[in-house]
């Protein structure tokens, strides 16, 4: 995730290179899961969230632009989307998310053109 894109909204300091794997992810209306992996690629920053049993094991890709804050001390990432918006997002495709601009455009378009 490209941390510099969201530094103005952080609840606690977070440096580029911070490992966000395992952080809890909170939608605007409740918990959605934990970070499985993340990217700090400029222009294509994202987190991959394992939703566990919440959506029957669905994994979702969230563009960095939907992150509203990161609480490093509490190991929690807050996103500015509802659980339903995330539940209805395009299916995460582990084979397409790296190096497929069309997939990133699809996910970014769903979330309002935030880079994915």
* DSSP element (H, E) containing 27: strand 24-27
Sign of the alpha-carbon dihedral angle for 7, 50, 42, 113: negative
Q: What is the pLDDT of residues 56-105, one digit of tens each?
A: 678 898 988 899 999 999 999 999 999 999 988 888 878 777 777 788 78
Which is it for strands 30-39 and 24-27: parallel, antiparallel or unpaired?
antiparallel
- In a 3-state reduction of DSSP, which class is residue 107? helix
pTM of the model: 0.76
* Contact indicator for 116, 108 with CB cutoff of 8 Å: yes
Average pLDDT over all residues of the chain: 78
């Amino acid at each position: 995730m490209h941390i510099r894109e969201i530094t103005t909204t952080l609840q606690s300091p977070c440096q580029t290179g911070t490992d966000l794997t395992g952080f809890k992810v909170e939608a605007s209306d409740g918990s959605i899961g934990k970070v499985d992996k993340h990217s700090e690629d400029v222009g294509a920053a994202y987190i991959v969230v394992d939703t566990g049993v919440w959506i029957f094991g669905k994994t979702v890709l969230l563009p960095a632009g939907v992150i509203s804050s990161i609480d490093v001390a509490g190991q929690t990432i807050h996103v500015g989307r509802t659980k339903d918006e995330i539940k209805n997002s395009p299916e995460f495709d582990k084979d397409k998310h790296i190096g497929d601009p069309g997939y990133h455009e699809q996910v970014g378009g769903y979330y309002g053109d935030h880079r994915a």
